[in-house]
Amino acid sequence: MNYFRQIYYEMKHQKMMTWVSISGTALAIFLVMAFVMVDQINSVEVAPESNRSRILIASGFHVKNQKGMDSSTSGLNLDIARRLYENLEGVEVLSYINAFNDNCDVNLPGQEIFTMAPKNVDNEFWKIYDFTFIDGRPFDEAEVKSDAKLVVLTKSAARSLFGEEKVAGREIEVDAYPYRVVGVVEDVNPLLSSSFANFYKLCNIAGIKNDDPYFGSANVVMLLKEGVSAESVKTQVENRYKMIQSEFSKEGYEAVYHGQPYTSEEVAIGGYGSNNGPDLDSHNVVQWIIYSILILLPAINLSSMTRGRLRHRVAEIGVRRAFGAKRNSIIRQILGENLIITFFGGMLGLLFSIIFVWLASNMFFSMSGALEQSLEVVNARPDLGMLFRWKNFFWALLFCFVLNVLSATVPAWRASKVEPAEALSFAR
């Protein structure tokens, strides 16, 4: 009862302790939410990656000498990619992307040259990612088969080159070769690494000459049907690995399966392209250890603050007990009041964490050297919409609740255990 008035009273009469409690809570929630936000950027679903939870990516292929002498990982050979990933059950769309996306010189004939990050994609790519077309359209199947020299520009690339956005049908030069613009899309945040580019170049990966029997430049992106689990697709792929293994064995090699194709979270935590696959479970354990430490340490300090605040209220607790408050009522009262303080501090912490992660994003989100040269990355920051998610709000609430329980339960329990007569004598 009257929790808010009690807090207001404490803010007025125990200013320092109350504000230190609020600040301590804000700091704890700030730290833990900064970690949560940085981590969840890898799974946040925003356009054009609104279907992130249904997108799987396969890029690397690990081949090991059976004598254990040699081991290499590189991009996929198109033939291997097809054998491993085509016609899998539960896959709605499958797209091949050329893994080699070195920055290009892009310009209008005879005009200023811009360094831009391309993505070499086919017609299926546009069905996986929900780009917003400002002008024109994506590539079609016939254009991919004919290996036409076509591009889709992002809005900022179109503005840099043409000074306007409605430029479908116009000509540009990419590394001195002429290309036709077929569409213009809204810019993509550079943190959405599997869809980001300054422009999208039509790529018929089947047309790329490749003599290596195992490795190549193919990346595979697939969109799963609604309700299909990544695990079911992975199991199918694992079986296909086993099937091709007999051919590899004849050559004295082993195709090592590392859990491909990867989810966006797995891609984000790394291991991608190395001789080891990403270990999401270990990553999650580490994350939870970090969260626990970030909550536990301040909880211990806040617990002392709560005890300090309660020391001024021993007589009040005695009065409440004298007039019939049971021990659990006292505990509820203290936890309820503390939860308001924790919630208030927690929301401040959440706000600070959003601002901090947004302002200091360069510290958290590393860009490849190539991307750093491209048009947009200079100003690369997560959109505020990527940081302020309802999911984050509920995480913050949950952490507040845990912090409250950890920091106030023991002081509340101890306060409730004081005999009423002893509590009343405190103020005599």
Partner 1 sequence: MAIITLKDVNKVYRTKEIETLALENVNLKIQKGEFVSIMGPSGCGKSTLLNIIGLLDVPTSGTITIMDDTTGKMNDSQLSSFRNRNIGFVFQSFHLIPSLNVAENVALPLAYRSGVSAKERHEKVAEVLTRLGLSHRMRHFPGQLSGGQCQRVAIARAIIGDPQIVLADEPTGNLDSKMGQEVMDILHQLNKEDGRTIVMVTHNESQARMTDRIVRFFDGRQVE
Instruction: Say if residues 233 and 53 touch (Cβ distance below 8 Å).
Output: no
CA atoms within 13 A on the CB side of 70: 5
Q: How far is the CB of 415 from partner 1 (least distance, A)?
A: 14
For 29, counting Cβ atoms within 10 Å of its Cβ (0-12 exposed, 13-18 middle, 19+ buried), the class is: buried
Least distance to partner 1 from the beta carbon of 310, Å?
A: 14
| Interacting residues with partner 1 between 311 and 340 (CB under 8 A) | 315-316, 318-327, 329
**427 is an interface residue for partner 1 by CB under 8 A:** yes
Region from 4-12, 116-124, 204-212, 281-289 binding partner 1, contact rule CB under 8 A: 4-12
Instruction: Please state the closest distance from residue 420 (CB atom) to partner 1, in A.
Output: 4
Instruction: Choose between 137 and 326: whose C-beta lies nearer to partner 1.
Output: 326
Backbone angles phi, psi at 21, to 5 degrees: -60, -45
- 309: contact with partner 1 by CB under 8 A: no
Q: How far is the CB of 428 from partner 1 (least distance, A)?
A: 7
The reply to whether 419 sits near partner 1 by the rule CB under 8 A is: yes
Provide, rounded to whole angstroms, the least separation between the CB of residue 316 and partner 1: 5
Please report how close the Cβ of residue 322 comes to partner 1 at its closest, in angstroms.
5
Q: Minimum CB separation from partner 1 for residue 408, in Å?
A: 18
| Closest CB to partner 1 among residues 38, 325 | 325
Of 38, 42, 37, residue with least CA distance to 55:
42
Pick between residue 19 and residue 388 the one whose CB is nearest to partner 1.
19
Q: Does 8 bind partner 1 (CB under 8 A)?
A: yes
Q: What single-letter amino acid sits at 48?
A: P
CB of 324 to partner 1, least distance (A): 3
* Structure token pair of residue 44: 């946040």
Cβ(73)–Cβ(62) below 8 Å: yes
Q: Residue 420 interacts with partner 1 (CB under 8 A)?
A: yes
Out of 2, 53, 232, 362, name the contact with partner 1 by CB under 8 A: 2
53 scored as a contact of partner 1 (CB under 8 A):
no
Cα–Cα nearest to 348, from 62, 33, 9, 80:
33
Q: Least CB distance from residue 318 to partner 1, whole Å?
A: 8
Q: Which is nearer to partner 1, 166 or 326 (CB)?
A: 326
Q: For residue 121, is it left (φ>0), alpha (ψ between -120 and 50) or beta?
A: beta
Of 191, 193, 153, nearest in space to 59 by CA? 193
Q: Please give the single-letter amino acid code of residue 39.
A: D
For partner 1, the closer of residues 319 and 410 by Cβ is 319
CB contact at 8 A, 346 and 396: yes
**Of 401 and 426, CB closest to partner 1:** 426
DSSP state of 261: S
- Counting residues that bind partner 1 (by CB under 8 A) gives 29
Mind giving me the DSSP string for 3-51?
Answer: HHHHHHHHHHHSHHHHHHHHHHHHHHHHHHHHHHHHHHTTT---TT-TT
The counts of H helices and E strands in the chain are 16, 14
Taking CB under 8 A as the binding criterion, the range among 21-29, 105-113, 226-234, 413-421 that sits at the site for partner 1 is: 413-421
Q: Is 64 helix (H, G, I), strand (E, B) or coil?
A: strand
Structure tokens at 259: 């859990």
Decide if residue 424 touches partner 1 (CB under 8 A). yes
Residue 13 lies near partner 1 (rule: CB under 8 A): yes
Taking the least distance from each CB to partner 1, the nearer of 9 and 288 is 9
> How many angstroms separate the CA atoms of 231 and 249, rounded?
26
Residues that bind partner 1 (CB under 8 A): 1-2, 5-6, 8-10, 13, 315-316, 318-327, 329, 419-422, 424-425, 427-428
